[in-house]
Amino acid sequence: MKFFKQLGVSDETLKSLEDIGFETPTPIQEESIPLALERKDILGQAQTGTGKTGAFGIPIIETTEKQAGTQVLILTPTRELAVQVSEQLKTFAKYKKLGVSVIFGGMSIDRQIKDLKRKPEIIVGTPGRIIDHIKRRTLKLESIRTLVLDEADEMMNMGFIDDVKFIMSEMPSENRQTLLFSATMPPAIQELVTRFMKDPTIVKTMKQGGSDPQIEEHYTIVKELEKLEVFTDFLDVHQPELAIVFGRTKRRVDELTSALIAKGYRAEGLHGDITQSKRLEVLKKFRNNALDILVATDVAARGLDISGVTHVYNFDIPQDAESYTHRIGRTGRAGKEGVALTFVNPVEMDYLRMIENEKKKTISALRPPHKKEVQKSREKETFDKIEQWKSENTNTHTFEVAERLLEQGEAKEVVAALLNEFLFSRTDDSIQLSFEKPLTRKGGQRRGKGQGGGKKPFRKGRSQGQQGGGRNNKRQGGGGRPQQGSQKRQGGRTFKDHIK
């Protein structure tokens, strides 16, 4: 095992790495950093979550000169990834005090022009907005010494390959270092390598096979109108630390997010109609542990680099194996274990078999939890949370309130009344999702366009998940991030709310 210092990293950068808890390099960092420090071209094949931002970011910080103009350009496929990369580079450059600017569409171009006039040493951006600045002459590439293509295959999938070629053709090739990272190497990416890179060293840390073996893959058969109940039962039993839930349509994401919030879970949604400022706010909350469940469409989740996701739920089964692989790849990263669970309507079994055939892997069936299992899990969660509250409580006034409560009744009656409110009181008896038509057997076409599915609105009726008690257990406001094994929720009243 090597340490960063052994790779040639300076003391200033080592200090910034220590500040953020980087102790030992990941495999791709260990191989890439020495090569990048020698300014060699690198072709890195690695998935998101393996530490590739550090693999190119750390040597960039080491080889970039302060106040020598813009020297580094990093291209990413999405705005969210651009923001994440820029934030991490700023932490790497904490003591070197290099300027890092992020450039993407959807934000004021005038503000970006003003920022570019300061000549930041490093620019991170998406291809479209970078080209806008090149054509406006507000970004000049003559001084660029290092180019990074992050998630090059995603840029190709999103139609940016011609933009990338244009940008690369506008840059000086002499003495330019190019670092290209991609999970796959399709022909278009190989053409970029051949045309624009100089004898690149291949660094490959991808594991062989279709999916990461650290991911447990399961499916459960459930009818459309039972999905919400079964899903929340799984949430209570699994107790995910961080979960991403995939819905097929924008409407599905909106309704599922609203339903989860109403049931007391800390959830937010992402889809194509969410404003950019809201997207960044949601992702920041998710990364900072202020959220526990992110509900998203496939498009909205592209390029996300979020560590610590323990569970991925396919609330709606994807239409092809590639989408399935991209979805479940959000968990089980950097050597950590993850769980992926797909909800399959009985008429959608053909799609599951197609995914299994293309992946050459059998996905195991998982039965929905029994009500007794769900209730037992909620009760354990309640005991764990109470123990945590007891250890954290330094408010002497609460002890005075407790004494007054005990004067009014027997201790067992008081505790039972609070538990009844905490575990069994319900405020979500009318929550159901609109009916979403399952995938058909002919090519996976679904009814309607855009939002898809049936047209029935949110409706009142018997709650899905009515049995098994309430969902008022863990809520926002409990203070900080609960320990593992605690489902985090918001809404409703907690013990602390009762005794204020």
Lowest mean pLDDT among 127-136, 276-285, 296-305: 296-305
| Portion of the chain with pLDDT greater than 90, in percent | 46
Q: Are 166 and 131 within 8 A, CB to CB?
A: yes
Structure tokens at 429: 């008896």
- State the sign of the Cα–Cα–Cα–Cα dihedral 414, 420, 421, 423: positive
On average, the pLDDT of the chain sits at: 81
Q: Is 119 left (phi over 0), alpha (psi -120 to 50) or beta?
A: left
CA 243 – CA 268 distance, rounded (Å): 11
Higher pLDDT, 451 or 291: 291
Q: Are 155 and 75 within 8 A, CB to CB?
A: yes
Q: What is the mean pLDDT of residues 253-271?
A: 91
Over residues 128-149, the pLDDT tens digits come to 999 999 999 999 999 999 999 9
The pLDDT-based confidence of 288 (bands split at 50, 70, 90) is confident
214 φ, ψ to 5°? -80, -5
Nearest CA among 358, 416, 385, 399 for reference residue 488: 385
The amino acid sitting at 445 is Q
Q: Is the pLDDT score of 335 beyond 70?
A: no
- Please tell me the predicted confidence (pLDDT) of residue 303: 62
Task: Compute the half-sphere exposure of residue 307: CA atoms within 13 Å on the CB side of its CA.
Answer: 10
- Please tell me the predicted confidence (pLDDT) of residue 299: 75
Over residues 6-59, the pLDDT tens digits come to 999 999 999 999 988 888 898 899 999 999 999 999 999 876 667 889 999 999
- Please tell me the predicted confidence (pLDDT) of residue 235: 92
Residue partners of 161: CB distance under 8 A and separation at least 6:
155, 188, 192
Distances in whole angstroms, Cα of residue 150 to Cα of each of 56, 78, 155, 203: 9, 10, 8, 14
Over residues 348-364, the pLDDT tens digits come to 999 999 999 988 889 99
Over residues 475-495, the pLDDT tens digits come to 443 333 333 334 444 444 333
Task: Give the largest Cα separation in the chain, rounded.
Answer: 83
The pLDDT-based confidence of 342 (bands split at 50, 70, 90) is very high
The pLDDT-based confidence of 375 (bands split at 50, 70, 90) is confident
Q: Are 235 and 265 within 8 A, CB to CB?
A: yes
Over residues 155-168, the pLDDT tens digits come to 887 889 999 999 99
Higher pLDDT, 263 or 491: 263
- State the sign of the Cα–Cα–Cα–Cα dihedral 349, 355, 358, 362: negative
Q: Is the pLDDT score of 298 beyond 50?
A: yes
CA 414 – CA 405 distance, rounded (Å): 7
Over residues 52-69, the pLDDT tens digits come to 899 999 999 999 999 889
- Please tell me the predicted confidence (pLDDT) of residue 321: 86
CA 37 – CA 13 distance, rounded (Å): 13
- Please tell me the predicted confidence (pLDDT) of residue 436: 77
Residue partners of 10: CB distance under 8 A and separation at least 6:
62
- Please tell me the predicted confidence (pLDDT) of residue 48: 65
- Please tell me the predicted confidence (pLDDT) of residue 42: 96
Over residues 176-218, the pLDDT tens digits come to 999 999 888 888 899 999 999 999 999 987 554 444 458 899 9
- Please tell me the predicted confidence (pLDDT) of residue 429: 54
Neighbours of 122 (CB within 10 A): 26
Place of tokens 């109108």: 225
- Could you give the domains of the chain? 4-204 (3.40.50.300), 215-369 (3.40.50.300)
